[in-house]
Structure 1
Amino acid sequence: MFPTPDTETLRLCSVLSSSAFGLVFALVRFEPRAERYFAHWSASAFLYAAVLVGFEFWEDRLFLDGLLLGGLAASNMLLITGMRAFDGKPPFRWWMLAPIAGSVLVHVLPTSMFGARPAVFAWTRAGDTIGIAISALIAGAMLVLDARRLKSRGGRIAGLAMLGYLPGYAITLAALAWGDSRVNFLAVIPMLSDQLLLAVLNLGLLAIPAERAQQRLRDAALRDPLTSVWNRAGFEQHARPLIAPGATILAIDLDHFKQINDRHGHLAGDNVLMELARLAGAEVGSLGGEFGRLGGDEFIAILPEWRAPYAQACANQIHRACRSFTEGMPEWTMSIGVAQVSEGEQGFQDALQRADKALYRAKVAGRDKLTAIGDACW
C-alpha cells in the first residue's frame, strides 16, 4: 500500500502543477496573434497557486483567510471569464462578484459576530467549504453549457473536471460532521483529487483553441477560396441533410463570363463571381438552403423539400436578388435551371443533371432566364 501523503506535500504538488499551467498560458498569451482568453486562464492558474501558498503561511488568520478564500473563488470565476472571452463576449459580469464576496463574508462574519468559539469555528469551516463548492459548481456548469453550445469537447472536459471537485467538498463536509480521528484522513481526499482534476481541467482548456483551429482548417478545406461559399466537397457534405423528395436543385451560371473577362479583365470577372456568390448565397441561406460553387462560373443551390410548393417563387426571388449588383461593376446577368429531387433518389446528382438541362434551355432562350424541368416542378 502507498503511504497516505500529508496535506502539505499535496498542496506543494498542486502549487507546482498550477504554476506550470499558468506559465504555459502566459507564454502562449504573449505569442503574436494570441487571444486574450489565455490571460484569464493564466491568471486563474497563478491565483490558485498563490492562494495555496497563502494558506500554507497565513492559515488561521481571520481576515487573511477570508481574502484567500475569496481569491480561490475568483480563480474559479476567471475560468468563466476566459471562456466568455474565447466566445467573443464581454468577459466580466457583475454576478461573478457574488461567489467571491460570499466566500469572504461566510468566513469572516461568524467569528466577528460570535467570537472564536469551537462551535463557531466548526460552522465557519463548513461555510467555507460550501462557499467554495458553490463557486466550483457555477464555474463547472457554465463551462459545460458554453462548451455544449460551442461544440467544444475540451470545454466539456474542463467543466466536468471542475464539477469533479464537488464530491471532494462533500467528503470534507462529512469529515467535519464526523468530528473524530477520521477527519484528518478524509481531509486528504480533496487534495488527492486535486492532483488529477487540476491537470484534466487545464489540459481541457488548452484543447479548446486547438479544436477551433482544427475546425477552421476543416471549414477552409470545404470553402471556395475566391467566393468563400462551399466548394463541391463542402456543398455535397452540407447539402446531404436537405436531400429528400421535393428538394429543389438550382444550377446557376453566369452569362457571357468570358466576355466579361475579355472586356474588363480577370479581376473584374473575379469581382462579378464574388458578387453573384454574395447575393445569391444570401438569398439561398434566407430560404434555409445551401449554396456552393462547382467551378468557373458554375454555381449550385439546394432548397429544402418543405419549400417545394413555393419552388418557383423562391427561384424567382434568388434570380431577382442578383439584379441588384453593386454600382461600378460590369453589368452581368445569370441563368438558372431548376429541378427537384424525385422519389427514390438518394443524392442530388440526377436532379442536378435535369437542372443542367433546364439551364441549357435558359441559355438557348436568350439567357438571363429561369427554366424548370421535370414532373416534380411547377
Structure 2
Amino acid sequence: MRLCSLLASATFVVIFLSLWRGRREQLHNVHWAASLLLYCVALAGLEWINRPEDVLIRSLLVAALTASNIPLSTGVRLFAGRPLWRWWMSVPPAVTLIGFLLPSIVGVLGMPMPPQSEQLLAAFGLALGMGTFGADVIRQAARAVPDGYGGRIAGIALLAYIPCYLFAIAGDILHLATPSTLAVVALLSDQLLLMLLNVGLLAMPAEAALAAMRESAWRDGLTGVYNRAWLAQVHSGFLQPGTWLAHIDIDHFKSVNDRFGHAVGDATLVALARTLVTATLNSEFEFAAKVVRMGGDEFLIIMPNASLLKAQRLVQNARKAVSDLGPFDWTVSIGLTEVLADDTALSNAVDRADQQLYAAKLAGRDRVAA
C-alpha cells in the first residue's frame, strides 16, 4: 500500500510538472509537484530505513512528511496572490521532529518513555501539520476562487487525515487493534485522501478559468462595468426593501456623437462608467454598490442596504464629478427610487427609476429626481 501511495504521488508529480511545462507562468504547479516529491522521498526513506540506531534520520524523514505540506500551501497561496511564507509554517515540522526525537533524548537521560512513544508523538505532529495547512488551504482557496470547490476539497482532504492519526494514537494506547491493522487503516485512508487532495488542486485552475469566462460574459465590453446579463442572473438578490436604484442618463448624448464623433462618444461612456464606479468605491457602500450599463448611455447603480440620504449623497457626488470631467461641458440626469416590499421583480423598481429619470429631464436636466 505504501508503494501504491508512492506511485500515485509520482503520477501526480508528472501531471503537475507537465502542466507547468505547458504554461511556465503557472508556478503553483511546481510547488504542488515539489510537495508530492518530498512526500515520496519521505515515504521511501521510512520504508528502507528501519534500524533503531537511525533514529535521527527517521525523525528527519517523518518531519519531511509534515513539511511536504508547506509547498502545497505555498502553491495555493501563489495561486491566490498571497504572501508565500509565514513563520507558523515551520512549527508543525519542528513539533514532529522534536516529538519523534523526544523519547530517545529522554532515554539517554535515564528516563525511558512508554513503548511506541515515537510513533504517538510523530502522529501528533503530523495531525498538527494537517490541521494547520488544511485550514490555510481552505482559506486561501476561498480567496482565489470564491465560488470554487476544488481548493476546499483539497483542504478538507488534509483535515480528514486528522481522524486517521487520532485513531492510530487511540488504537495504540487503548490496544483497539494490532499495529499492523492500524498501519493498514492509515495507508487505506491515504489512498483515498491523496486522490481527493490532488484532484481538488487540479480543479482550482479550471474553476478559476471558468469564473473568469463567466465574469467576462457579465461585463460590458466597452466600459467594463456589469451588463444586463449579469443583472438578469442576480436580480433576485436585490429584490428587498432598502435597496435603492439610480437610473442615470447622459444629457443630450446624441449631440455629443454628432458634434465630436462616435469615438468621443465611446470615450464619454467610459469616463462616465469610471466616475460611477469611483463614486461607489468612495461611498459608504464600498464594494456593495454595483454599476450596470443598461444599454446606450443609460447606467444603473444598485445600492443594497441603503437609505434615501446615503443614496442621494452617492449620486449627487457622482453627478458633480461628471460635471468636472471635460473636455467639453456635459451633464447627467438621475432618477432615484427604492425597491418596495410588493415588487415582484427588480424590473418594477427599474421602471420607477426610469420614470424619475424622465422627471429629472423634464425639470431641466443635470439633476436628481427621487
C-alpha contact 1:243 1:304 (8 A) present in aligned 2? no
Match of 1:277 in 2: 273
CA distance in 1: counterparts of 2:201 and 2:101, whole angstroms = 33
Match of 1:216 in 2: 212
Task: Report the secondary structure of 1:90's partner residue.
Answer: coil
1:198 deviates by 0.7
1:118 deviates by 8.1
Q: Deviations over 1:103-137 (max 9, x none)?
A: 22222343145249985662122211211121112
Q: Deviations over 1:80-119 (max 9, x none)?
A: 2222222211111111111112222222343145249985
C-alpha contact 2:106 2:113 (8 A) present in aligned 1? no
2:221 paired with 1:230: no
CA distance in 2: counterparts of 1:310 and 1:185, whole angstroms = 66
Task: Report the secondary structure of 2:22's partner residue.
Answer: coil
The counterpart of 2:31, out of the listed 30, 37, 40, is: 40
Task: Tell me the amino acid that sits aligned with residue 81 of structure 1.
Answer: T
1:228 deviates by 1.2
Match of 2:351 in 1: 353
C-alpha contact 2:246 2:300 (8 A) present in aligned 1? yes
CA distance in 1: counterparts of 2:202 and 2:300, whole angstroms = 39
Match of 2:19 in 1: 28
The counterpart of 1:362, out of the listed 360, 366, 369, is: 360
Residue 356 and residue 165 in structure 1: after superposition, are their counterparts in 2 closer, same or farther (change >3 A)?
closer
Match of 2:57 in 1: 64
With the length of structure 1 as denominator, give the TM-score of the two structures.
0.86
Task: Report the secondary structure of 2:333's partner residue.
Answer: strand
Match of 1:290 in 2: 290
CA distance in 2: counterparts of 1:164 and 1:355, whole angstroms = 52
With the length of structure 2 as denominator, give the TM-score of the two structures.
0.87
1:252 deviates by 1.0
CA distance in 2: counterparts of 1:234 and 1:81, whole angstroms = 33
Alignment of 1:124-143 (within 5 A): 124-143=118-137
C-alpha contact 1:253 1:297 (8 A) present in aligned 2? yes
Task: Report the secondary structure of 2:82's partner residue.
Answer: coil
Residue 167 and residue 265 in structure 1: after superposition, are their counterparts in 2 closer, same or farther (change >3 A)?
same
C-alpha contact 2:225 2:273 (8 A) present in aligned 1? yes
Match of 2:96 in 1: 103
Task: Tell me the amino acid that sits aligned with residue 370 of structure 1.
Answer: V
Match of 1:333 in 2: 331
Task: Tell me the amino acid that sits aligned with residue 24 of structure 1.
Answer: I
CA distance in 2: counterparts of 1:103 and 1:112, whole angstroms = 14
The counterpart of 1:123, out of the listed 113, 117, 120, is: 117
Aligned length: 361
CA distance in 2: counterparts of 1:270 and 1:185, whole angstroms = 72
CA distance in 2: counterparts of 1:371 and 1:311, whole angstroms = 12
Match of 2:45 in 1: 54
1:163 deviates by 1.9
Superposition misfits of 4+ residues, deviation over 6 angstroms: none
Task: Tell me the amino acid that sits aligned with residue 85 of structure 2.
Answer: F
Identity of aligned residues (%): 39
Task: Tell me the amino acid that sits aligned with residue 169 of structure 2.
Answer: L
1:211 deviates by 1.5
1:338 deviates by 2.7
Task: Tell me the amino acid that sits aligned with residue 361 of structure 2.
Answer: K
CA distance in 1: counterparts of 2:166 and 2:113, whole angstroms = 20
CA distance in 1: counterparts of 2:346 and 2:115, whole angstroms = 72
Alignment of 1:136-151 (within 5 A): 136-148=130-142, 150-151=146-147
Residue 249 and residue 177 in structure 1: after superposition, are their counterparts in 2 closer, same or farther (change >3 A)?
closer
Alignment of 1:111-260 (within 5 A): 111-115=104-108, 119=113, 122-148=116-142, 150-177=146-173, 182-245=178-241, 247-260=243-256
Q: Deviations over 1:153-199 (max 9, x none)?
A: 11221122112222322232244336698222222210111111110
1:14 deviates by 0.4
Moved more, 143-152 or 153-162: 143-152
1:366 deviates by 4.1
Unmatched 5+ residue regions in structure 1?
1-9, 373-378
Unmatched 5+ residue regions in structure 2?
none
Q: Deviations over 1:297-338 (max 9, x none)?
A: 11112333641355444432231232232x6x4443222223
Match of 2:3 in 1: 12
Task: Report the secondary structure of 2:365's partner residue.
Answer: coil
Task: Tell me the amino acid that sits aligned with residue 44 of structure 1.
Answer: S
RMSD of equivalent CA atoms: 2.7
CA distance in 2: counterparts of 1:180 and 1:236, whole angstroms = 58
Task: Report the secondary structure of 1:337's partner residue.
Answer: strand
